[in-house]
Amino acid sequence: MTRHIGIFDTTLRDGEQSPGAGMNVDEKVLVAQQLARLNVDIIEAGFAFSSSGDFEAVHRIGREVDGPTVCSLARAKPGDIDAAWNALKGAPKPRIHTFLSTSDIHLQRQFGLTRAQALQRAVEMVTHARGCVDDVEFSPMDATRSDLSYLCEVVEAVLAAGAGTVNIPDTVGYATPAEMEAVIQTLRTRVRGCDRAVLSVHCHNDLGLAVANSMAAIRAGAGQVECTINGIGERAGNASLEEIVMGLRTRRDFYDADTRVRTEEIARTSRLVSQITGMVVQPNKAVVGANAFAHASGIHQDGVLKDKRTYEIMRPEDVGVTHSRFVMGKLSGRHAFRDELAKRGYALTEDEINTAFERFKQLADQKALFEEDLEAIVSAIVGKVPERYSLTGLSTRSGMNQKPTATVALEMDGRPAEDSGTGDGPVDAVYRTIAGLTQTKSTLLSYRVRAITGGTDAQGEVSVRVEQDGETVVGNGANTDIIVASAQAYVNALNKLELRLARRAGAGPRPC
């Protein structure tokens, strides 16, 4: 039977300890609501004693967020535990997580405690916490640098005092997977009461081993993992939630364990945390990085086109990413090139594809290629798209408390036409007006803006993807006025649609 591994998310507590990643109360509640949609088991909402803001965050999340257990961290001090309980009052599923170091270097150099004193305090504070809530977790901080016999003694004592979960932190990211596995196995075999409690791990990434150590602990019998979205946290961060979850889901055959996380919410959660904290996800980050489902090698692209399982061990849809993508460059092959042109709405003959591919390879040896480069290559080969519609004039009005309005002038088959319309925004007003003038029934699939150059006077490029009657094309426009560029891109797409539909029907462009 597949074991359930509890996901204890500490993005709002340890994750916030990333330099510059602070969140206000409203932002913490927003992230907690998304974590609930992600279906994590426990949310460590903050450290209630540390500040009034953290106290309020723990209190609000406990009352406003349904589903997960809501937890507050507390040092092994009565005041901390009381603050945690006061913040958690009213929460349906409260947990107090208290901690005290067990390594000699921490006890002697930081806290000035003997082992006996630390053991006594740990037991007293777990007992105190149990007087407030039924669900108590204890962490022997710096456990992986602690004497193993003493660690076993502390764990046994706090379990007897009423802790339901004991978390083994690799506080400074010092352990190796083999050592972490050995610690968990030792605790399970030597500590009385361990079979009735949950063993957890909390691994830091100082040596890049946080996820590996967490997975090793799971293999050894740990039933809970403490982790953060995008792996953010103190110093080099924590074990990454998305890597833990997808590691278990993808290799369930090996670990015989899984979580209850709704993996389709992973990408959305990652983006939200990145936006709120300002912590950018590196492109090559596992699972949620921009390149996680991107393929640049021609061999890989060819394989993915034939069967995605050749080079993808996870489906992008399973983590909330819409699709894989190909990076078109000098390593790309003919198969991927042809497929990429088809995605962009180009229908070329075999001779045209061969000519375009040769030019593509020549250009790819000289520079990084972008979508406009493919557009230029194809346009030079198949000739300029006939313009049934051309933009001759445009003006818009919008602002606060004002309905966005657009006036558009087109030339259609050589005849002038003009109309005005409204929309949800200036671009929407322009597009609705153009659609009305041209009497087209296309669907806008995507709209993208990027700056071609830098500075406030930068030229902006707009790219739109439009579909009609099963045909999909890409339209492009560029102008220092982004509204004008948007109109140009839409008109360009409509002209391409006209050509594609006419070719399919075996006739010339349709009359107005």
pLDDT at 68: 98
Q: What φ, ψ does residue 445 adopt, rounded to 5°?
A: -90, -35
pTM: 0.70
**Exposure b/e, 83-102, CB count within 10 A at least 16 = b:** bbbebbeebebbbbbbbbbb
∠ CA(377), CA(380), CA(384), 5° rounding?
120
CB 404 within 8 A of CB 422: yes
What's the CA angle centered on 421, arms 417 and 423, to 5 degrees?
140
The Cα–Cα gap between 487 and 456 comes to: 21
CA nearest to 374, candidates 384, 385, 360, 362 = 360
Q: How far is 418 from 46, CA to CA, in rounded Å?
A: 59
Read off the tokens for 437: 């003038």
Q: What is the pLDDT of residue 508?
A: 46
At a CB cut-off of 8 Å and minimum separation 6, what does 437 contact?
408, 410, 412, 417, 418, 419
In angstroms, rounded to a whole number, what is the distance separating the alpha carbons of residues 237 and 214? 13
* Cα gap 165→156, rounded to integer Å: 11
* Whether the Cβ atoms of residue 123 and residue 163 lie closer than 8 Å to each other: no
Boundaries of CATH 3.30.160.270 in the chain? 389-505
- Quote the tokens at residue 442: 């296309």
Quick one: which of 105, 87, 108, 109 has its CA closest to 96? 87
CATH number given to 389-505: 3.30.160.270
Give me 484's structure tokens: 């004008």
From first CA to last CA, the distance across the chain in angstroms is 67
From CA 497, how far away is CA 471, in angstroms rounded? 7
Residue partners of 391: CB distance under 8 A and separation at least 6: 408, 409, 410, 484, 487, 488, 491
CB-side neighbour CA atoms (13 Å) of 311: 18
d(CA 493, CA 499): 10
Distance between CA 15 and CA 310 in Å, rounded? 35
- Residues in Cβ contact with 202 at an 8 Å cutoff, skipping those fewer than 6 apart: 8, 10, 14, 139, 167, 168, 169, 170, 171, 226, 238, 239
Residue ranges, CATH 3.20.20.70, the chain: 3-277
Q: Which long-range contacts link 402-411 to residues 24+ away (Cβ below 8 Å)?
A: 404/428, 404/429, 405/429, 406/430, 406/432, 406/433, 407/433, 408/433, 408/434, 408/437, 408/487, 410/434, 410/437, 410/438, 410/491
Q: What are phi and psi of 23, to 5 degrees?
A: -125, 145
Token duo for residue 209: 């081993």
**How many CB atoms lie under 10 A from the CB of residue 140?**
26
> How far, CA to CA in Å, does 305 sit from each of 207, 300, 335, 353?
37, 9, 8, 18
Query: Considering just the CA atoms, what is the radius of gyration of the chain in Å?
Result: 29
Per-residue model confidence (pLDDT) at position 458: 55
**Residue recorded with tokens 């979205």:** 229
Tens digit of each residue's pLDDT, the chain (512 residues): 899 999 999 999 998 888 778 889 999 999 999 999 999 999 999 999 999 999 999 999 999 999 999 999 999 999 999 999 999 999 999 999 999 999 999 999 999 999 999 999 999 999 999 999 999 999 999 999 999 999 999 999 999 999 999 999 999 999 999 999 999 999 999 999 999 999 999 999 999 999 999 999 999 999 999 999 999 999 999 999 999 999 999 999 999 999 999 999 999 999 999 989 988 899 899 999 988 887 767 788 778 778 888 888 899 899 998 777 666 777 777 887 888 777 767 777 888 888 888 877 877 776 556 555 676 677 656 545 678 899 999 999 999 889 999 999 999 998 999 999 999 999 999 999 999 999 999 999 999 887 754 555 555 778 899 999 888 888 888 777 899 989 999 998 999 888 888 877 764 444 44
Topology at the third CATH level for domain 3-277: TIM Barrel (3.20.20)
230's CB contacts (< 8 A; 6+ apart) are 240, 242, 270, 273, 274, 279, 281, 285, 288
